[in-house]
Homo-oligomer: A and B are copies of this chain.
Amino acid sequence: MILAVDVGGTKLAAARVSPEGAIVETRRAATPQDADAETLWRALREVIGPLSDGVAGVGVGCGGPMEWPSGVVSPLNIPGWRGFPLRARLSGLFPGVPVRVHNDAICLAVAEHWRGAGRGVADMLGMVVSTGVGGGLVLGGRLVDGGTGNAGHIGHVVVDPDGGPPCGCGGHGCLEAVARGPALTAWALGRGWTPGDPAAQGDYQEERAVTARTLAADARAGDEVAVAAMSRAGRALGIAIASATHLCDLDLVTIGGGLSQAGEPLFGPLEEALREHARMAFARRLRVVPASLGQDAGLIGAAALILASDTY
């Protein structure tokens, strides 16, 4: 058995995974908010403790940034961990077994390539469009880490160099500045959008809140501002993906995260902008599809870091 761990700003998750890659048992807990480093570590130990018997390897996806491959993490959304030696601590708990830590967006891309929509594809970008916009690159059938483990950061591909909004990175006009969920909802709220009738929104509590999911549902229902917001995000995604496929000669892009189920209001304008800009003959084969794995994707990708370490 190996242990897969997914560390996020709102949730800590872990799973026992069989050598064949099947998730045998999963445990989850809320990430303690405003907690110090040791409180966070204790919370993580409580999640993984009952899963620890006979563990032969530990794979971890964690929010960035981090020092890679040493696994000293400083997740943006976990302020209590700044320079926290997550990999070393886990090696202390599981002496003598391999422990690998990688960026969470990379684990999601790895999961889609290993077990999801990208299975068997040689050259793909696995994206996540959520609070942030990130991704991971698989080229020639192997994960590309980049010099510091940060390859795949498509959120900071420039899509609007002159007029684009400021980005959290300090730049402006990045894809993430346009297409991250909070940017989308802020743009729509500023133009008079109010989240639609809760009864029309489906099963999830969060869909009644000011989220990109609600916005996407309202766009599907025809709300004009919501449609415009989704179209703006879709265009930005299409432009960035055109740049990425010209640079990396891709077969496939998968889109996961909160917006992956947004449907036509997002994917229509995305495809249109992509076909407008991805004009080299070799770029035309590119397919863009929603990610196919659900909430366990991060754990599956983390498991692959150990179970398929020759590829990832």
Contact = CB atoms under 8 A, between A and B. Distances in A.
Interface stretch (A140-148, A188-196, A223-231, A299-307): A140-148
Interface residues of A, number: 54
Contacts of A151: 123, 139, 247-249
B65 A156 contact: no
Given A159-B158, A159-B161, A139 B144 contact: yes
A199 to B, nearest CB: 39
A133 to B, nearest CB: 11
A261 B15 CA distance: 56
A279 to B, nearest CB: 4
A84 B153 CA distance: 38
A71 interface: no
B157 A246 contact: yes
Contact of A144 (B145, B157, B240, B248): B248
A137 B279 contact: no
Copy total for this chain: 2
A146 B250 contact: yes
A56 B242 CA distance: 40
Interface stretch (A45-53, A85-93, A164-172): A164-172
Given A144-B140, A158-B159, A159-B158, A149 B277 contact: no
Nearest to A122: B147
A140 B145 contact: yes
B150 A146 contact: no
B171 A242 contact: yes
A131 B171 CA distance: 30
B156 A246 contact: yes
Contact of A239 (B161, B240, B246, B277): B161
B277 A146 contact: no
Contact of A171 (B140, B158, B163, B278): B278
Given A123-B146, A146-B139, A152 B278 contact: no
Contacts of A147: 122-123, 249-251, 282, 285
A163 B160 CA distance: 10
Interface in A59-77: 65
A281 interface: yes
A282 B156 CA distance: 12
Contacts of A248: 137, 144, 146, 151, 247-248
Q: State the 7 A-B residue pairs at the shortest beta-carbon distance, nearest first.
A: A146-B249, A156-B246, A170-B279, A171-B279, A169-B279, A151-B249, A157-B243
5 contacts: A123-B146, A140-B145, A147-B251, A158-B239, A159-B161
Interface of A: 65, 122-123, 137, 139-140, 144-163, 167, 169-174, 239-240, 242-244, 246-251, 273, 276-283, 285
